[in-house]
Structure 1
Amino acid sequence: MAFEGIFVLFVILICLLTLLFSRIQADLVFLGGLTLIIVFNIIPVTDALVGFSNEGMLTIAALYVVAAGLRDTGAIQFIIQKLLGRPKELWRTQAVIIAPVLSMSAFMNNTPIVASFIPALQEWARKYRIPVSKILMPLSYAAILGGTCTLIGTSTNLIVNGLLISEENMALNIFEPAYVGIPIAIGGFIYLLLFGRKGLPDGSSSLSSFENTREYTIEMMIRESSPLIGNTIEDAGLRHLPGLFLVEIVRDGTILAAVEPDEILQENDRLIFTGMVESIVDLQHIQGLEPATDQVFKLNSPRRDRHLVEAVVSPSNALNGKSVKEGEFRNRYGAVILAVSRRGERIRKKVGDIMLQTGDILLLETPRNFADRYKSSNDFLLVSTLDQSGTPDYSKSWVSWVILGTMVLAAATGLLSMFQASFLAAGAMLITRCTRGGTARNSIDWQVLIVIGAALGIGNALQLTGVAETLAAGFIGFAGNHPYMALIGTYLVTWMLTEMITNNAAAVLVFPIALSTAASLGTDFMPFVMTIMFAASASFATPIGYQTNLMVLGPGGYRFTDYVKFGLPLNLIVAVITLLLVPVVWPF
């Protein structure tokens, strides 16, 4: 093996060891490895940077924008709330997430499914204080497992089928992978449910402690045409909200205290909630509920372009000793006070009647630039933005659903590639104002894109230096004249390359070697072809082997070792099922 090949292997080893035994971020590690390959001129710079123009990487960038449109219109949040409701047991929650994702991924590209679910599951998990780390990795794994069930489930399956057509002039039926794919999906489903609670890291909840929290009392209103009208408190999801309590309902001047769960909501009901600031933020995202103060509707900017902000009244504020109404807070600051907390306690008064004092913490609904304008002002001691996403524009949720459905349909029918369809969908989200340019830009996880681009560059170096081909041929060659041992070798080398250079690259690299092996052994090539297909999709032990694993890396707060600990047993399960069933369904 030449110096260049040895150097690339050394770089990969250093990257893996750094990820396993340090807390350095994955994007820095892979970017550092790629930099070494470029500096030592192992391969041309254009080949090293090929990952940053890769269609798969750019497709993910576009899908982040599509997901932002779905989030900003409340489209996915509505489905998630209806699907999951209020969590009772973690394994049931995981089951309700995994089952539909498994089914959808069999017929849809799994990348947009994961991209769409991530922001909604993050918000749902925050609302109910469920560690998001317990549900995002199962989401990715379920999408991968479901994709193995049909020919169109993953791009890898389509690539292997294309190679089969070009090399052997035969094509697979759309449901042919299901003979092995369905048992794999069932085995993975059982594993995720049995070990998902203890095997996954326990990320901290945003309300892990109830100490030293700020409490507010806020008044919300059921406006005309609210979808909550006619629902009971229980059905509307307003009972047992974490960190929040429905104190009373004011209806036509009558106070309904000790509200029962079967109380039916009516138009113009005013709901008085009390609770912690994080819970008040979540309350703003419930469709059909709006702040009762009319001042909110007098702000110039639409609600989706506003933030929730906390500001502490300073001693030099001119409104000290004045009521909110008397001081004309909205006219002075262009913001509306939703609630006031004093020394950590709630104030039981209408907001307009509260006399402001130094140290009062104001919960404000403000334009997006409020924090920048007043963070250095003498009027406030501290200004902190609580909610960056704003209130969803539910009136456009149907638009975002149409855009998503059109994208999936165009890609599934072959009318457009996934790359083309995703960019058109991202553009449509911006044109229809389902999301705004600034929001879309901020929604892109640049860390994930850097990891993908750098990892693809390192993988390309592995191929161009001949290391990958040498390792693959040598590994399979150890099998000798035993077809079953050659099949095991094909699976192992495809799997290992998948974890290092991505699934599609691994499949393309091993395919011709496997065909040659089958020919030399005098056996049918189909067992080897199908083994490559399943092995290239079985990427659970590292985040870099499959793009959905990378997509949940940051949002889930995972480390590289989390994938090894939880994903490696799943790799073994898939390997055993594949190697037992493939020779039965497609004999040698």
Structure 2
Amino acid sequence: MTFEIGLVLMIIVIMLGCLIAEISRPEIILFATLAVLLFIGVLNPEEALQGFSNEGMLTVGMLFLVAGAVQQSGLLNRMILYAVGSSRKSSNFLPRMMIPVAGMSAFLNNTPIVVMFTPVVRRWCEKRGIAPSKLLIPLSYAAIFGGSLTLIGTSTNLVIHGFMLDQGMDGFTMFQLAFVGLPAGLLGILYMTTIGYRMLPERKSSSESFQESSKSYLSEAVIEPQSPVAGKTVAQAGFRSLQHMYLIELIREGQRTAPVSGETRLQSNDRLIFTGSFTTIVDLENMNGLHVKTGTDIELADLQNGSAALYEAVISHRSSLIQKTVKESCFRANYGAGVVAIHRDEETMQQKIGEVKLKAGDTILLLAPPDFFQRWANTKDFYLISPVSKPDISKNSRPILSLTTLCAMVTLAAFQVLSMFEAAVLAVLVLLLAGTLTIERVRRWVQFDVLLLIACAIGIGKALEQSGTAVFLAEHFTAASSIFGVTGALIVIYLVTSIFTEVITNNAAAVLMFPIAVEIAVRLDQDPFGFLVAVAIAASASFMTPIGYQTNLIVYGPGGYRFSDYFKVGLPLNAIYLISTVTVVSTLWIE
């Protein structure tokens, strides 16, 4: 091992440690790693910037826009309501949900699909007395199954495809991955509808927890006549600077205001609704001129009216709110919503709400204006879980145009009339000329942090290749699996990629394993294509943790799951995918 290889390995290990410890957002960590590799001379500027012109990365950016147009059109809502239909038994509902979700995820971003399906599934469960925890993990897994069916199923597939083109290889065709993904997905659905369903727990969802514990975190105070706070603004009265309580709603003569501005002027007999543990109610009792009602019956439903509604949101793994307290995040000022409660690890948190440090997967209950969903549905900071109703599709949404554009793009790429990148560019051009895309929508729909992560990961993968680190690791992986030959090497590649995916991001895992998989294939005198198919499948088949894939995180809080639930149900599913992938790859692409 040379000094340069040792240095690169040390940098990669530090990067992985930072990603696992979540000391910052993944794209920031990867950008810092790329910068270090550039500054120490492992990469020159051209090599470091290679990822920013990678065809796969640019295609991902274009597909964000195409998928956004389809989502905006209301077609997803209609598909969801049609897919659910009138199923009355969970045994019928599960395949009826999983098959359409997998089909949609093969062509569209799976995050909005799962976000939109989640409230539908929960509402179906509530009507029939079934715990949502029996169905929400299958919902997430179905979206993952679909991602392995097509080239555009996940960004990971496109990243590997782009990397292959950069290396002078033939990339994936539109449905080539389906040779592996389809049998694996069908086996996965069979497993979930038979064995997996029985292994899933029956737990309270976040919404049930919020409802049942509302009396432990909602308080009411009435401004007494002649109170010194009457006539003052909310900020002047000190209600914006309470350490442990948050003012979320003001009721005046039956009219409710939420969220409450710091400039709102208070009057006698105003009713103030606060959130915070009863152990901190002394904050209110110490204020003169307030009559604090302890033990009052305040229901969550009472907080809602024509000017305010309750929303559930799940903190995303890409959120800028992670590791910030509710107070530090200035949530009310930045988003126009009050944080009513926080659900984590099966229960509503009872500690001082302002001091809670937010984590990825936390479910937060928000009180906000009715237009909150429209304004923040596409934020990267949280996934909004909101009931889906039959959409009112206006002429401006152009649903037929959006669907036709998507179908034409897939057809042109599938029959290789155009490359995937060219077909995506053409689709975006059509949407631009039709007026479906605007600058504002481009800003909202394109996940620039994901593109930055992919671009940086490609540069880091180039460093593994240029420094000889990929060759060094390939030698050791090959030696470790030599007893079992090519099949053993495939299993090792799949397992290592799968482990990386569970603890870091799927795109980073794929790019790190790409040069290693190529070197192993070369050493075994095999075509790298089959090995890269295994990497693509393993990088997306994340079933064992809630943090390995964004859809797992979306259902984590709403389903009331524990970390161990994913491991218990996902481990056999990972084994199914491993066996299926290695079998098909060995049959089709290994000599």
- Fold conserved (TM > 0.5)? yes
Whether contact under 8 Å (1:160, 1:508) holds in the other structure is: no
Task: Trace 1:234-245 onto structure 2 (pairs within 5 A).
Answer: none
Query: What is the CA–CA distance in structure 2 between the aligned matches of 1:89 and 1:23, rounded to whole Å?
Result: 44
TM alignment of 1:159-558, pairs within 5 A:
182-193=182-193, 194-195=195-196, 205=206, 208-210=209-211, 310=258, 362-363=306-307, 384-386=368-370, 387-389=372-374, 393-395=393-395, 396=397, 397-434=399-436, 436-478=438-480, 484-493=484-493, 496=496, 499=500, 503=510, 506=513, 510-511=517-518, 513-518=520-525, 530=530, 532-540=532-540, 552=551
Equivalent residues of 2:412, 2:423 under 8 A apart: yes
Q: Could you tell me whether the CA contact under 8 Å between 2:121 and 2:136 is conserved in 1? A: no
Question: Tell me, what secondary structure is at the counterpart of 1:388?
Answer: helix
Q: Which amino acid aligns with 2:401?
A: V
Structure 1 unaligned residues grouped into runs of 5+: 214-308, 321-342, 348-358, 366-370, 376-381, 519-524
1:400 Cα offset (Å): 1.8
User: Structure 1 residues 553 and 581, CA, compared in 2 at 3 Å: closer, same or farther?
Assistant: closer
Matched, 1:6 2:20: no
Aligned pair in 2 of structure 1 residues 502, 93: CA closer, same or farther (>3 Å)? farther
Deviation at 1:467, TM superposition (A): 0.9
1-structure distance, mates of 2:158, 2:512: 11
Deviation at 1:363, TM superposition (A): 1.9
Tell me the distance in 2 between the aligned counterparts of 1:562 and 1:450.
Answer: 32
Distance 2:82 2:475 in 1: 51
Report the AA paired with residue 369 of structure 2.
T
Instruction: Quote the offset at 1:496 in angstroms.
Output: 2.9
SS across alignment from 1:415: coil
> Match for residue 17 of structure 1?
17
Change (3 A) 1:394 1:135: farther
Cα RMSD, aligned residues only? 5.4
CA displacement at 1:78 relative to structure 2: 0.5
CA 1:182–1:41 in structure 2 vs 1: closer, same or farther (change >3 Å)? same
Task: Give yes or no for contact 2:56–2:159 (8 Å, CA) kept in 1.
Answer: no
Conserved in 2, the CA contact under 8 Å of 1:531 and 1:578?
Answer: no
Mapped to 2, the partners of 1:536 and 1:360 lie a distance apart of 46
Q: Residues 475, 32 of structure 1: CA spacing in aligned structure 2 closer, same or farther, 3 A cutoff?
A: same
Change (3 A) 1:539 1:90: farther
Question: Contact between 1:52 and 1:453, CA under 8 Å: does it hold in 2?
Answer: yes
Q: Render the CA deviation track for 1:53-106: whole Å, top value 9, x for unaligned.
A: 33333333332332332222211111111102477666755533432455677x
> What displacement does 1:399 show?
2.3
**1:243 — aligned with what?**
none
Take 1:362 and 1:180, find their aligned partners in 2: how far apart are those partners? Answer: 51
C-alpha separation in 1, matches of 2:494 and 2:181: 17
The question of whether the paired residues in 1 share the 8 Å contact of 2:148 and 2:540 is answered with: no
Q: Which residue of 2 aligns with 1:48?
A: 48
CA distance in structure 1 between the aligned counterparts of 2:478 and 2:392, rounded to whole angstroms? 54
Instruction: Calculate the TM-score normalised by the size of structure 2.
Output: 0.55
Q: Is the 8 A contact 2:529 2:589 kept in 1?
A: no
SS at match of 1:442: helix
1:66 aligns with 2:73: no
Q: SS at 1:539's partner residue? A: helix
Larger radius of gyration: 1
Per-residue CA deviations over 1:180-202 (Å, capped at 9, x if unaligned) read 66543333333444437867998
Give the AA of the match of 1:66: V
Q: Does 1:576 align with 2:579?
A: yes
What's the CA shift for 1:142?
0.5
- Structure 1 residue 404, shift from structure 2 partner: 1.8
Matched, 1:121 2:117: yes
CA, structure 1 residues 13+207, in 2 after alignment: closer, same or farther (shift >3 Å)? same
Runs of 5+ consecutive residues of structure 2 not aligned to the other structure? 127-131, 216-256, 271-297, 310-331, 337-365, 376-390, 502-507
Alpha-carbon spacing, 1:580–1:36, altered in 2? closer, same or farther (3 Å): same
In structure 2, how many angstroms separate the alpha carbons of the residues matched to 1:161 and 1:207? 48
Q: Could you tell me the percent identity over the aligned residues? A: 23
* Aligned partners of 2:5 and 2:469 also within 8 Å: yes
> Helix, strand or coil: the match of 1:42?
coil
- The aligned length equals 426
Q: In the superposition, relative to structure 1, how do residues 517 and 184 fare at CA in structure 2: closer, same or farther (>3 Å)?
A: same
CA contact (8 A) 2:258 2:368 kept: yes
For the residues of structure 1 that align with 2:405 and 2:66, how far apart are their CA atoms?
9
- Whole-Å separation in 1 of the counterparts to 2:200 and 2:411: 36
Quick one: structure 1 residues 403 and 312, their matched pair in 2 at CA, closer, same or farther if it must change by over 3 Å? same
Amino acid in structure 2 at the alignment position of 1:363: S
Native 8 Å contact 2:148 2:177 kept in 1: no
TM-score under structure 1 length normalisation: 0.55
Following superposition, the deviation at residue 126 of structure 1 comes to 7.3
Structure 2 distance, partners of 1:20, 1:200, is 27
Q: In structure 2, how many angstroms separate the alpha carbons of the residues matched to 1:161 and 1:24?
A: 30
Offset from partner CA, 1:367-411 (integer Å, 9 cap, x none): xxxx99xx8xxxxxx994343327753443222212222222222
Check whether the contact 1:430–1:436 (CA below 8 A) recurs between aligned residues.
yes
Task: Tell me the distance in 2 between the aligned counterparts of 1:560 and 1:449.
Answer: 28
Q: Report the Cα distance in structure 1 between the residues aligned to 2:46 and 2:163, rounded to whole angstroms.
A: 27
8 Å contact from structure 1 (residues 69, 400) kept in 2: yes
1:507–1:532 CA contact under 8 A, matched in 2: yes
User: Does the CA contact (< 8 Å) of 1:491 and 1:575 recur in 2?
Assistant: yes
Shift of 1:437: 3.4
Which of 134, 138, 141 is the aligned partner of 1:138? 141
**How many angstroms does 1:489 deviate by?**
1.6
Could you say if the C-alpha distance between residues 127 and 44 of structure 1 is closer, same or farther in structure 2, counting changes exceeding 3 Å? Answer: farther
Give the letter aligned to residue 16 of structure 1: L
AA aligned to 2:307 is L
Structure 2 CA distance for aligned equivalents of residues 561 and 46 of structure 1 = 44
Residues of 2 paired with 1:32 and 1:486: CA distance? Answer: 36
